[in-house]
Structure 1
Amino acid sequence: MNLSTLTHIHLLLNHFPTVGFGIGLVLFLVGLYLNSDPIKRASLGIFLIIALLSVPVYMTGKAAQRAIQEEPGVSNVLVETHEDAALTALAFMEITGLMAWLGLWQFRRVTRATKANLTAVLVLSLITAGLMTR
């Protein structure tokens, strides 16, 4: 793929992780509050899908960086800061997605996710949300 296509893919996809993760987090909190397994499962599924979608968003970010780096008024320091923040958020997003997958697996195998798993997903999702908003 050429640079322009990758840049467009980045611009098209880059809001899905933020918005989708926010929806998943609110749904997860509602599921915990109501103690609703179907809502918890749905939110875990959202976390997993968003974690998978975040990889191409991050990977196409380099193409977007190359496309704008020579533009007037573009601060390379800010772009590098954005890239570093994105990498940290991606790492936590992927760990959250992995724990969400484990929770979904537990729901399937033993009919409910363990309290430890749900706690881990809660803590990781809150950290990830914080990292995504900085």
Structure 2
Amino acid sequence: MNDAHLHMVVNHFPIIGTILGAGILLAGILFKNNTVKNVAYVLFVVAAVFAAVSMATGEGAEEMVEDMPTVGHDIIHEHEEIAEKLALSLYVLGVVSLFGLYANIKKISQAKLAAILTLVISVIAIYFAQLTGTTGGEIRHTEIRDNATGAEATTNAASETKTDHED
């Protein structure tokens, strides 16, 4: 398994894990259930770990695809810049989640504040996750780019169909 393949395997969890974690945390806050909040905190920590792995494999993935037709350096650079913001927000989210987990377990008075702060940070992270996922998808899926033409989309779809039949 090369870096590009590993990157494709791990890069979805930081996005999906953050979205799921935010929903679970919101439910935990609304229902005043610390166990549910703790599940969200663990999801956020795992998302941060996967973000680190995704960042570590991103350079290798970039090297493998940047010279491919219809890819280019600019689109990868845009994805990389946004992914760095996502990673930073997830690292902060992971640290705050560890504090929230600790506060819930030890029944510290700041536990409620930690939950609210974690939820706010998770919303920020979801914003960057959406941008990161979109720019990452645009690297190989020219049909979802803002500047896509019908010819590019048709050519890309035809090449993907051909590849699917070759498997």
Instruction: Give the TM-score, by structure 2 length.
Output: 0.74
CA contact (8 A) 1:17 1:53 kept: yes
Provide the C-alpha distance between the structure 1 equivalents of 2:11 and 2:44, rounded to a whole number of angstroms. 15
Instruction: Provide, for residues 65-105 of structure 1, a one-character-per-residue CA deviation record: whole Å limited to 9, x for no partner.
Output: 10001111113111100000000110001000100001111
Q: Are 1:126 and 2:123 matched, yes or no? A: yes
Q: Are 1:9 and 2:2 matched, yes or no? A: no
Shift in Å, 1:111: 6.2
Instruction: Give the greater-gyration-radius structure (CA).
Output: 2
Structure 1 gaps of 5+ residues are none
Provide the C-alpha distance between the structure 2 equivalents of 1:43 and 1:9, rounded to a whole number of angstroms. 25
Provide the C-alpha distance between the structure 2 equivalents of 1:50 and 1:113, rounded to a whole number of angstroms. 23
**Total equivalences in the alignment:** 131
Corresponding position of 1:58: 55
Q: Residue 108 of structure 1 is aligned with which of 100, 105, 117?
A: 105
CA contact (8 A) 2:7 2:58 kept: yes
Shift in Å, 1:107: 1.8
**Amino acid of the residue matched to residue 127 of structure 1?**
I
CA contact (8 A) 2:97 2:118 kept: yes
Shift in Å, 1:20: 1.3
CA contact (8 A) 1:96 1:124 kept: yes
Corresponding position of 1:79: 76
CA contact (8 A) 2:25 2:115 kept: no
Corresponding position of 2:35: 38
Corresponding position of 2:95: 98
